[in-house]
Structure 1
Amino acid sequence: MDQLLDRVLTVNDQFWQWGIIPLIVVVSLLYLALTRGVQFRLLGQMFRGLREDPGDLPDGTRNISAFQAFAVSSAARVGTGNIVGVSTAIALGGPGAVFWMWLMALVVAGAAFAESTLAQVYKERTPAGGFKGGPAYYMKHGLGLPWMGVVFSVILIFTYPFSFNMVQANTFTAAVNESLDGMGVAVGDASSLVIGIVLAAVTAAVIFGGLKRIAHVTQVAVPFMALVYLAIGTAVVAINADRLPEAVASIFNSAFGIEQFAGATLGTVIMMGVRRGMFSNEGGMGSAPNAGATAAVSHPVKQGLTQAFGVYFDTLFLCSISALIILTTDPVYGDADVNLVTRGVEASLGGWALHIMALILVLFTFTSVVGNYYYGQSSIEYMTERPAVINGLRVIVVALVFLGSVASLDTVWSFADVTMGLMATVNLIALLGLTGVAVKVLRDYDKQRKAGLDPVFTRESVPGLKGMQVWEPETEAAVPVRD
């Protein structure tokens, strides 16, 4: 069994190196060129879109806002990858891996923009009057390939609500146990069992409440945990400010092989940065559009820009603060099992900060669990909306969260890495096939902005565009921009 797993992982590594990463680079550069650098030239619009009023549902309750959809996708993005993933990348690839994470985020934000814009274009209306969508829907309505949507949905379910949630639950339990151990409380199988029960119960309380409860939880938790972590990181960097120039220099010197760390070749440095960056920000993976499609916005491009900002938020903000914590606190390269972020925080702020780091990891992992679950629900709803099936998914997710809290997960993580690569491949192929749609919709947005209007999209906005399930013509036209 171990030999079979090793062989699968070897093939998977080659698939990532020669298949997935070149594909994401090609797709991202293509969108960079066709959209004239949309992720750079419309940076200001990313922030404005977060404030858009979503309006009310037919029952009088509020619709899902652009910010809530952003919070749900960020909840899934922001997790152990921002702390443990960065630590692993630097431990194995040296400081230069951080540069490639940055570069990948800047480039892949174009693909992130495209996938969430397309998810908005081809979204469907729910019975309650809200919206649902994602890659499966633009594969069905945009490409006319419903079977491709089924393949994508099945892969996503095994990747996010199943495998990734078990890994996140395991990290959650480890963080709580570490904090309890620091307070002198005995930890072991019994404590892990109790933690697992509590986590499973809280997860059930949130996910059985549906998308609105998930959105309300994440819109509070995501900004809070990000601000706390940024405050901790800023304090560590300030204490070690004298080492900041050296840390920044090491990132650029190592990135191009001028300096090597832990025996890492230039290829290893690039691979660790690019791969860990993709795992962290999920740009082009096809996960975030499932949340992005739920937002009530006046134009698909608005949510595309908001989700592109999510890539920046994840990598350029949170991953960068992790990297600077590590690089300003005398890191030890070569040992991927050591959490260099936690070690750096403890060295700078003292043992009490370990409890704060445990709280941050707990929040990061819990919000990832509920965000990952929603991606699974969205995929299930593409195939069937039977309540029994959706509730069955919820029960399975709660059970796997408990199991992940008490089990060893090396095999599960390896499996998730394989399915994540397959999911990205299917989504990127779809993005290639729909480049014309994304570009035309963006041109309509640019045209309205140039005319001084707050862009409004309808089925007639782009002549010849077919397959849209919503975006019926409204009686009111676009109105002047109110900045």
Structure 2
Amino acid sequence: MGFIENIFNAIGDFTWGWSLIPFLVVLGLTFTFVSGLVQFQFFGRMFQVLYGKQDPRTAGHVSSREALLVSVGGRVGGGNIAGVAVAITLGGPGAVFWMWAIALVGMATSLFECSLAQLYKRAEPDGTYRGGPARYIIFGLGEQFRWLAVLYAVCLIAAFALGFNAFQGNTVAGAAEDSLGINRIWTGIFLAIITGFVVYGGIKRIAKVADVIIPIMAISYIAMALIIILLNITSLPGVIWDIVSNAFGLQEAVGGGMGAAIAQGLRRGLFSNEAGLGSAPNVAAVAYVRHPINQGIVQSLSVFIDTIVICSCTAFVILLGDVYVPGAEGINGVALTQQSLVSHVGSWAQYFLTFAILLFAFSSIIYNYYLGENALSVLSTNPKAVHILRGAIVALVFIGATAPAATSVFFFSDPMMGILALVNLVALTMLFPIGLRLLNDFRQQLAAGVEHPVLDVEKFSDLNIDKAAWSDVK
């Protein structure tokens, strides 16, 4: 076992330490500038999905808004509560600035990966769609790259569907035990039952559940942070100055100074918002939209919500309090966030955070399940395989919740995510010219006065597009 762990640790060091983060940053900057700052051009348009009138043709399909909320639910998780605290502890307040920066760049990466997932999606007999990196590798790059799609699918199942779901169950059970005194086995049973109910309903039920719990989750957490900010409004300018000055080395909060701030900010930001990692495109592809760029724009918003909004809430809660001491060792992770909340509004806040962790974790569980199911469809079309996966995930959520040390078995999750991210980034690099074609087509229609651009598959007849998936968009 020790030998196997060493192998996966080496893979993790290579992907997350030496190749993945520079690749993500360089590619994100390239996409941003070559596309003409696309994420800023369409920033206002991103919010239309939240309040705009729903297209009646989405009846029977997963809507763009539902797909957005499922992906927000997946992106928003422990990284937004514990990960931000770790970034601040190890990188100082300046890490928050670099989290913001990588999110703004990552919005472009997310736009292109999700647009390509839409373009190459396939229609299913039940009226739903399937897509994602595995399919844009197969149908965009060609059958000779199917092995790359298979590698991606295997890593996606191992990392998200299996490993991360056990972690989520463990996180919820630990929080419930620490703050409420609930035995882990009861939390495990509760999580397993509700997980089974949702995942056996398929993507449509997942989308409906996300449409309810994600707004509650996000709004309640943001509201709590806003209350704390208002209670400490006079200290806010000083905190913002600390973030900016520490980010550029004007003041040193921790050992390593500016370098530590950049490293922690980029790493935690990328880990939290998942832009470019190849997970969110699996969900983006299921939505009914008239043009692939539409959903790409919408998915950029989920990166913004995850990092610029939710992660900032955690950062301000910590930095406006007196629990965090720059450079000092001690409280870290979720405990730092929890104790900071308590210092602001009282001991009841620990129960609020437990509730928030429950919603964050459960939304991630159902998101991770769908990623696994979608990846499995690339490997097997046997219906029994889906039932085995569903049963395995329900069991792993229970095991992760009930056994405090159980998640140590899933040491392979981060390295597997590193591999699938590299595979996705290689595919994105090769398919970027097609992404630009889509973007130029979208812009041309807008310039011609078309308020809601529509994909004309005949303009892209040289590509392996499933016409059945775009037959009713006009």
Common fold by TM > 0.5: yes
Per-residue CA shift, 1:1-42, capped at 9, x if unaligned?
Answer: 568746753663353232001111121122112211110011
Match runs of 1:82-481 below 5 Å: 82-144=80-142, 145-181=145-181, 187=182, 191-330=183-322, 331-332=324-325, 333-335=328-330, 336-337=332-333, 339-407=335-403, 408-409=405-406, 411-412=408-409, 414-453=411-450, 454-462=452-460, 465-470=462-467
For 1:176 and 1:223, locate their aligned partners in 2 and report how far apart those are by CA, in whole Å: 22
For 2:274 and 2:21, locate their aligned partners in 1 and report how far apart those are by CA, in whole Å: 13
Q: After alignment, is 11-20 or 337-346 more displaced?
A: 11-20
For 2:409 and 2:258, locate their aligned partners in 1 and report how far apart those are by CA, in whole Å: 29
The structure-2 alpha-carbon separation of the partners of 1:404 and 1:475, relative to structure 1 and needing over 3 Å to count, comes to: closer
Is the partner of 1:461 in helix, strand or coil? helix
Contact 2:246/2:257 (CA < 8 Å) preserved in 1? no
Structure 2 counterpart of 1:481: none
- More helix by proportion, 1 or 2? 2
Within the candidate set 56, 71, 74, 1:73 is matched to 71
Measure how far apart 1:74 and its partner are.
Answer: 1.1
Contact 2:60/2:127 (CA < 8 Å) preserved in 1? no
Instruction: Supply the AA of the counterpart residue of 1:307.
Output: Q
For 1:223 and 1:438, locate their aligned partners in 2 and report how far apart those are by CA, in whole Å: 30
Structure 1 counterpart of 2:45: 45
RMSD value over aligned CA atoms? 2.0
Contact 1:211/1:374 (CA < 8 Å) preserved in 2? yes
The structure-2 alpha-carbon separation of the partners of 1:84 and 1:450, relative to structure 1 and needing over 3 Å to count, comes to: same
For 2:119 and 2:443, locate their aligned partners in 1 and report how far apart those are by CA, in whole Å: 16
Task: Tell me the number of residue pairs that the alignment of Structure 1 and Structure 2 aligns.
Answer: 465
For 1:119 and 1:475, locate their aligned partners in 2 and report how far apart those are by CA, in whole Å: 18
Contact 2:64/2:288 (CA < 8 Å) preserved in 1? yes
The structure-2 alpha-carbon separation of the partners of 1:45 and 1:149, relative to structure 1 and needing over 3 Å to count, comes to: same
Instruction: Supply the AA of the counterpart residue of 1:53.
Output: Q
Identity %: 38
Instruction: Supply the AA of the counterpart residue of 1:133.
Output: G
Measure how far apart 1:396 and its partner are.
Answer: 0.4
Contact 1:55/1:63 (CA < 8 Å) preserved in 2? no
Measure how far apart 1:262 and its partner are.
Answer: 3.4
The structure-2 alpha-carbon separation of the partners of 1:370 and 1:473, relative to structure 1 and needing over 3 Å to count, comes to: closer
Per-residue CA shift, 1:222-249, capped at 9, x if unaligned?
Answer: 1111000001111112212222122111
For 2:111 and 2:329, locate their aligned partners in 1 and report how far apart those are by CA, in whole Å: 35
Task: Give the alignment's TM-score, normalised by structure 2.
Answer: 0.93
For 1:12 and 1:119, locate their aligned partners in 2 and report how far apart those are by CA, in whole Å: 26
Contact 2:121/2:469 (CA < 8 Å) preserved in 1? no
For 1:475 and 1:356, locate their aligned partners in 2 and report how far apart those are by CA, in whole Å: 45
Is the partner of 1:456 in helix, strand or coil? coil
Instruction: Supply the AA of the counterpart residue of 1:142.
Output: G
Contact 1:39/1:305 (CA < 8 Å) preserved in 2? yes
For 2:347 and 2:369, locate their aligned partners in 1 and report how far apart those are by CA, in whole Å: 34
Contact 1:96/1:252 (CA < 8 Å) preserved in 2? yes
Is the partner of 2:29 in helix, strand or coil? helix
Task: Give the alignment's TM-score, normalised by structure 1.
Answer: 0.92
Contact 2:15/2:419 (CA < 8 Å) preserved in 1? no
Contact 2:275/2:303 (CA < 8 Å) preserved in 1? yes
Measure how far apart 1:431 and its partner are.
Answer: 0.2
Measure how far apart 1:269 and its partner are.
Answer: 1.8
Is the partner of 1:179 in helix, strand or coil? helix
The structure-2 alpha-carbon separation of the partners of 1:475 and 1:95, relative to structure 1 and needing over 3 Å to count, comes to: closer
Structure 1 counterpart of 2:25: 25
Measure how far apart 1:55 and its partner are.
Answer: 4.3
For 1:470 and 1:25, locate their aligned partners in 2 and report how far apart those are by CA, in whole Å: 34
Per-residue CA shift, 1:131-168, capped at 9, x if unaligned?
Answer: 11000000000011222111101100001011111111
Specify every segment of 5 or more residues in structure 1 that has no aligned partner in the other structure, as ranges.
182-186, 478-483
Measure how far apart 1:383 and its partner are.
Answer: 2.2
For 1:111 and 1:247, locate their aligned partners in 2 and report how far apart those are by CA, in whole Å: 30
Contact 1:101/1:277 (CA < 8 Å) preserved in 2? yes
